[in-house]
Amino acid sequence: MLKARAGDRFIFGLSAKNIELLMDGRPIDIDLKELGCDSGHVLIFYGKTEADMKAALEEAGIELPEQTS
């Protein structure tokens, strides 16, 4: 995986192996401190549909705001 920051843009490049791991149910959690931020995380994960992804987050105990896209 490639992680970089260019000004206010965060760049995350996924390799074929990353995609395989995502499809195997292994999300990627990126600590933004690695890219010079004070705090924050990015969670990248896979689901066949948006409904599947919302259900997976709920199952993991992560609540989503009312409006998601």
What distance in Å separates the CA atoms of residue 8 and residue 5, rounded to the nearest whole number?
7
Residue 69: what pLDDT? 60
Residue 68: what pLDDT? 61
Cβ-in-10-Å burial (0-12, 13-18, 19+) of 32 comes to middle
Residue 63: what pLDDT? 84
Which residue bears the tokens 């969670």?
43
- List the pLDDT tens digit at each of the 69 positions of the chain: 999 999 999 999 999 999 999 999 999 999 999 999 999 999 999 999 999 999 989 988 888 887 666
